[in-house]
Structure 1
Amino acid sequence: MPTIFSTHPLHPRATEMLASAGELVVASALDADTLVRQAAGADIVIVRAPLPPALFGSAPRLRAAIRHGAGLDMIPMEAATQAGVLVGNVPAVNARSVAEHALMVSLILLRRFRAMDGALRHDGWAAGRAYADGNHELAGKTIGIVGFGAVGQAVAQIAHHGFGANVLATTRSARETTETMRFVAIDDLVAAADIVVLCCPLTPETRGLIDARRIAHMKPNALLVNVARGPVIDDAALVTALRENRIGGAALDVFATQPPPPDHPYFSFDNVIVTPHMAGITEESMMRMGTGAAAEALRVLANELPLNLRNPEVVESYRKRFPAA
């Protein structure tokens, strides 16, 4: 039977879908040596952790690497393509989960929840209530969305229709301004927004996109929310701005190094919310991502191409490896 290797356990519905198609093997650890060794006999790899490029040269039966989600930065695309391996993903299925998270942490920062909760628990009722005077509503705020894919669109929809926020967005592809939102250049967006939400993919163009210059142009009480990838932000620049009180706060779900070291400066700020790369993880989204990845794996095992094939240039070499496909 085919071997389906997954870096992590899958949702029970996904496991059930794959039960009759092959043997599902889950990695015992996520270090490069373990992944290369345990994936050596795999026909399919389902990806929720970064894959080492060497894996693709050490798995002669490997047909496809299927991303459990949308972002492809965990898959070394060049190595996969050179090895004649298909790459697929499951786009958009966790967009609502990520968008809800982005707005949740925005509200937590606007309402100064962390400081209020701590004061209430340690210093009493009156100390907690004292924070109410400096709280703010989300209604009427301007939210600037960097990247207008599925997540950015979900943030815009909830922010405007759910909270009455004004929406600005910037994206690589030209878009026309609508009645509910305006598309502007990135520098105009960071200067005008009360909350900047990063939803863009990590590319050479977006690495370090939010640097010292752009942070300096943000409003002094503006919030920065990152549900994209850690390296989109220049960490040193953001830490400096936080120390100098030149920014209202930040909510970070992703980091340049994951997990961040325990002594990272981000952990020292009361106006910074840190979460362990879980904005897109809910029971509902895990089911959608898992069953979506399983469906793509089943397509490949049935000698079909993935519905969401991300390296179409590989098809010719792939079919030379697997003539029946």
Structure 2
Amino acid sequence: MQRVNVLSIQRISAEDRAKIEAVDPAIALTDAGGWYDGEIRETWPAFTTARYLSPGATGSGTREERDRLLAEAEVILGGWPFPLDLRARASRLKWFHQRPAGASNLLLGDLWGSRVVVTTSRGSGNTLAMAEYAMAGILHFAKGLHRAAVDRDAGVFDHRTYRPLLLEGKTACVVGAGGIGLDVGRLCAALGMRVVGTRRHPHPDQPLPPGFSELGGAGDLDRFLPESDFVVICCQWTPETTRLFDKDRFAAMKAGSVLINVARGEIVDEEALADALQRDHLRGAALDVYVGEFEHTPRSRLWSDPRVLITPHISSVSDQDRHGAINLFCDNLRAYLEGAPLRNVIDWERGY
């Protein structure tokens, strides 16, 4: 078989390298993880590079050497952030796989909308860790724990403001019952909650996923919101889901309900969320993501509200790395060599 040049522009472990090389002798793998850090630092917002690049990282090799690696690559394994002009410099590129699950990560670069086949690690990330984060957000507000910091700052307890809820029998709505959402539903059900959910293409002829009592399409969201005590956003960010939660959706949500977002900030109209909190329509919101999270800190109207818990996109992080991106990449690499269809190919019109 003809040699296949595979370039990794994200750091990989020796174990991952061995997995990739073991797929087929035809694979010629080049590990250039960190080589492009200097370019990324010059072209991405400082807020992003401070978060995702090692301090002082300036990359490796000359510009000519980095260009040559891209120009020779037939397959590229990448992460986030990445060189924004990658497609223009990789003339032989046929397939790009990104380790993160979200297709929207690629919106800023020149790969988006190109003829290059692009796949993601959708469904193979640390989904259980993210589901546990969602449960933590649910419990945080269900038990009134957000009031503890308020009372500490005031130096006095206001017992009546806690208003703890019993989760058993409450309804959780999972928006986007994919890899993350399925784990969220399973954990909610384990606590005795009724679980409903939506996904873009439900299969009514198939059994319901574990823990779910009902699974509908996108059009069922408005039917579920008025009866849901907790709403957990797990869906992909696409043109269709941009500001999916606007003032009308917040008005439709059950009074005293809680919003959890572990997907992307752009799915929520943050002004509408702040307004819903201001009029006490919602009990609280736990946000692991927010609009512009890779460029600046959260808007003060939300960050200063004790009913809003905001974290810096850490829901997928844990002491155990169960990310399956490399295994998925290796499965797809075998399929690529055999001329078979790849999993998780981005549909540019659909947005994921």
TM bracket (short chain): 0.7 to 0.9
Contact 1:70–1:91 at 8 Å: present in 2 too?
yes
Q: Kindly state the Cα deviation for residue 175 of structure 1 after the two structures are TM-superposed.
A: 4.3
Cα deviation digits, residues 235-285 of structure 1 (max 9, x gap): 111112222322111111122212363361221011111122222233544
Contact 2:291–2:298 at 8 Å: present in 1 too?
no
What residue ranges of structure 1 are gaps of 5+ in the alignment? 314-325
Q: Which moved more, 1:173-182 or 1:295-304?
A: 295-304
Q: In structure 2, what is the equivalent of residue 280 of structure 1?
A: 316
In structure 1, give the amino acid aligned to 2:141.
L
What residue ranges of structure 2 are gaps of 5+ in the alignment? 23-27, 45-58
Whether 1:268 and 2:265 are equivalent positions in the alignment is no
Contact 2:7–2:69 at 8 Å: present in 1 too?
no
Q: In structure 2, what is the equivalent of residue 239 of structure 1?
A: 274
The two structures have a TM-score, normalised by structure 2, of: 0.73
Contact 2:124–2:323 at 8 Å: present in 1 too?
no
Q: In structure 2, what is the equivalent of residue 152 of structure 1?
A: 181
Give the secondary structure class of the aligned counterpart of 2:103. Answer: coil
Q: Which moved more, 1:76-85 or 1:100-109?
A: 76-85
Relative CO higher for 1 or 2, CA cutoff 8 Å, sep ≥ 6?
1
User: 86, 90, 93: which is aligned to 1:62?
Assistant: 93
Q: In structure 2, what is the equivalent of residue 141 of structure 1?
A: 170
Contact 2:95–2:117 at 8 Å: present in 1 too?
yes
Residues 153 and 309 (structure 1), Cα distance of their counterparts in 2 relative to 1, 3 Å cut:
closer
- Map 1:166-181; keep pairs closer than 5 Å: 166-176=194-204, 180-181=212-213
Give the secondary structure class of the aligned counterpart of 1:186. Answer: helix
User: 188, 194, 198: which is aligned to 2:233?
Assistant: 198
Q: Kindly state the Cα deviation for residue 62 of structure 1 after the two structures are TM-superposed.
A: 2.8
In structure 1, give the amino acid aligned to 2:234.
C
Q: Distance in 1 between the 2:291 and 2:31 partners?
A: 31
Q: Kindly state the Cα deviation for residue 222 of structure 1 after the two structures are TM-superposed.
A: 0.5
Superposition CA RMSD, Å:
3.6
Q: In structure 1, what is the equivalent of residue 47 of structure 2?
A: none
Contact 1:41–1:61 at 8 Å: present in 2 too?
no
Contact 2:147–2:161 at 8 Å: present in 1 too?
no
Q: Kindly state the Cα deviation for residue 133 of structure 1 after the two structures are TM-superposed.
A: 4.9
In structure 2, give the amino acid aligned to 1:181.
S
The two structures have a TM-score, normalised by structure 1, of: 0.78
Q: Which moved more, 1:277-286 or 1:233-242?
A: 277-286
Q: Kindly state the Cα deviation for residue 156 of structure 1 after the two structures are TM-superposed.
A: 1.3
Q: Distance in 1 between the 2:298 and 2:346 partners?
A: 39
Whether 1:289 and 2:325 are equivalent positions in the alignment is yes
Give the secondary structure class of the aligned counterpart of 1:41. Answer: helix
Q: In structure 2, what is the equivalent of residue 75 of structure 1?
A: 106
Give the secondary structure class of the aligned counterpart of 1:127. Answer: coil
Contact 2:180–2:234 at 8 Å: present in 1 too?
yes
Structure with the higher fraction of residues in helix conformation: 1
Contact 1:11–1:286 at 8 Å: present in 2 too?
no
Contact 2:85–2:109 at 8 Å: present in 1 too?
no
In structure 2, give the amino acid aligned to 1:201.
Q
Residues 52 and 267 (structure 1), Cα distance of their counterparts in 2 relative to 1, 3 Å cut:
same
Q: In structure 2, what is the equivalent of residue 45 of structure 1?
A: 76
Q: Distance in 2 between the 1:33 and 1:301 partners?
A: 32
Contact 1:106–1:225 at 8 Å: present in 2 too?
yes
- Map 1:245-256; keep pairs closer than 5 Å: 245-256=280-291
Whether 1:227 and 2:267 are equivalent positions in the alignment is no
- Map 1:85-100; keep pairs closer than 5 Å: 85-94=116-125, 95-100=127-132
Give the secondary structure class of the aligned counterpart of 1:310. Answer: coil
Q: Distance in 2 between the 1:237 and 1:216 partners?
A: 9
Residues 300 and 58 (structure 1), Cα distance of their counterparts in 2 relative to 1, 3 Å cut:
farther
Q: Kindly state the Cα deviation for residue 5 of structure 1 after the two structures are TM-superposed.
A: 3.4
Q: In structure 2, what is the equivalent of residue 9 of structure 1?
A: 11
